[in-house]
Amino acid sequence: MSVEIKTRAVVLGGSLAGLFAARVLSDAYDDVIIVDRDKLVGVDGPRRGCPQSRHINGLLTGGQRAIESMYPGITAEMLADGVPKGDLGGTVRWYMLGRQLQQRDSDMLCVGPSRPKLEHHVRERTRALRNVTFAEHTDILGLQATPDGSRIIGAKVQRQGGLPETIDADLVVDATGRGSRTPVWLEELGYEPVTEDRKKVGLGYVTQYYRLNSDPFQGDLSINVVAHPKLPRGCIFAKTDGGRVEMTTYGILGDHPPTDQAGLFRWIDSLGVPEYTEALKDAELLTEPVAFRFPTTLRRRYEGMRRFPDGLLVTGDAVTCFNPVYAGGMTVAAKSALVMRDHLHTGASPRPLDYFRDLARDVVDPQWEMTHTIDLSFPGVEGRRTFAVRMALGFTRLVQIAATRDGAVTAAYVRAAGQVERPESLQRPKMMLRVLFQALRGPKIQPRKPVVRTAPERQPV
């Protein structure tokens, strides 16, 4: 009698990076188990293990495309569920260096689900895969390795109210986010410490949901102010599911938005965007303002390690936590799953260091370099302003000025910022000439769009 040997992958962490990993693993392993301490199935609101789900998690076009490639039809499902859409260059109203960019459709679909709505759709599609199961309410305690530590053969976990146990696995994928313990576990197994890069950005977020009695959008999906050295405060004010508007505002290096209502509105006024002030003056407040602190970015350079155990991969924020104002983390998590899929294609166990090197080169490096460079435009952010950094910052400034005149520059800019093209795409000779020509003419002031009332003015009592 032959005994069927089944292969199993265990994913530690059932947030977005874990769900994306499970999606690609389900094509290569007989069983895929997702472990998380939270309740996941059926949840469609913010959850404890994912505190950022109370804040705007903007999905870049590069991420939307990667997600759609893993879950065909998911974008249409979200739209049918009341998620609004737009174009990242055409119907997102960008303010950079305090000036509005020229809008131009750029074939960059932008969908606006709240973070819980996005996760819910991705989770439901992952749950529908016949070989994926969820171990909820389960704490992840550690890794199970062979005696010589050269291979990971399972994960140590503890279900709520249960005893510690080991789930055997042919592959373990760590998607436990920023607090990942893999660096510690590896050292306990005798591996060299992984190099970690951190940069202090001292970011403070505050988020609030509204129902508006006026329409400041006029067909746009969102109105976004990007922080810059003269005003290091920003805001994303966006339509989202349920006919709501989600507003996340932020400040860097300790200049944080207040959470009391009057103070928050004063802070928003300080951004100098009359559309915000007008629209908020009689908006219905759907939630209290909620704060989040993000002190440092973090990158774990697994690709630089000399040795790494077989049977273990790491993905998502457990590898890199980007400055969230650039809205890149979910997109990187989705693209990381596509890299993982490439390393599973052979049918043999993936080679971790090969995976980490491809991940770094194709996905993490471009986003890390671009966001790191822009962070250095703020004088208080520590880091070396090399000649290359100063040149890149100077060029970015020219792009932002040129984009107030020329929608083609806006479109090229959002293709790079939206992780559809690499940042170098802006330096193609034709585009560089266009940027220089337009920037030399100086910034152009765009006509303001009106804020139109959608409900009658309230009569004074």
Sites of contact with ligand FAD (CB under 6 A)? 13-18, 36-38, 49-50, 52, 55-58, 139-140, 175-177, 179, 205, 292, 294, 316-318, 324, 327-331, 333
Closest contact distance (angstroms) between CB of 405 and ligand FAD is 28
**How far apart, in whole angstroms, are the C-alpha atoms of residue 12 and residue 166?**
13
Closest contact distance (angstroms) between CB of 252 and ligand FAD is 13
Closest contact distance (angstroms) between CB of 384 and ligand FAD is 26
The residue behind tokens 């009057």 is: 262
Radius of gyration of the chain (CA): 23
**How far apart, in whole angstroms, are the C-alpha atoms of residue 363 and residue 328?**
10
Query: Residue 411 burial (CB < 10 Å; 0-12/13-18/19+)?
Result: buried
Answer left, alpha or beta for residue 94, where phi above 0 means left and psi between -120 and 50 means alpha: beta
**How far apart, in whole angstroms, are the C-alpha atoms of residue 433 and residue 229?**
26
Residue with smaller CB distance to ligand FAD, 177 or 443: 177
Residue with smaller CB distance to ligand FAD, 186 or 333: 333
Residue with smaller CB distance to ligand FAD, 371 or 396: 371
Closest contact distance (angstroms) between CB of 135 and ligand FAD is 9
Closest contact distance (angstroms) between CB of 387 and ligand FAD is 31
Burial 302-339 (b: 16+ CB within 10 A, else e): bbebeebbbbbbbbbbbbbbbbbbbbbbbbbbbbbbbb
Residue with smaller CB distance to ligand FAD, 330 or 403: 330
Q: Locate 72 and state its tokens.
A: 């065909």
Closest contact distance (angstroms) between CB of 358 and ligand FAD is 18
Residue with smaller CB distance to ligand FAD, 87 or 246: 246
Closest contact distance (angstroms) between CB of 38 and ligand FAD is 5
The residue behind tokens 């994303």 is: 236
Closest contact distance (angstroms) between CB of 20 and ligand FAD is 8
Query: Do 18 and 140 touch, CB atoms closer than 8 A?
Result: no
Query: What are the helix (H) ranges across 175-254?
Result: 182-188
**How far apart, in whole angstroms, are the C-alpha atoms of residue 313 and residue 325?**
27
Query: Do 56 and 80 touch, CB atoms closer than 8 A?
Result: no
Residue with smaller CB distance to ligand FAD, 182 or 400: 182
Residue with smaller CB distance to ligand FAD, 14 or 443: 14
C-alpha 34: how far from chain center: 21
Residue with smaller CB distance to ligand FAD, 182 or 404: 182
Closest contact distance (angstroms) between CB of 224 and ligand FAD is 11
Closest C-alpha to 364, from 294, 418, 315, 296: 315
Closest contact distance (angstroms) between CB of 49 and ligand FAD is 2
Closest C-alpha to 301, from 368, 224, 252, 255: 368
Residue with smaller CB distance to ligand FAD, 274 or 295: 295
Residue with smaller CB distance to ligand FAD, 13 or 90: 13
DSSP string, 305-355: -S---BTEEE-GGGTEE--GGG--HHHHHHHHHHHHHHHHTTSSPP-HHHH
Query: Do 209 and 174 touch, CB atoms closer than 8 A?
Result: no
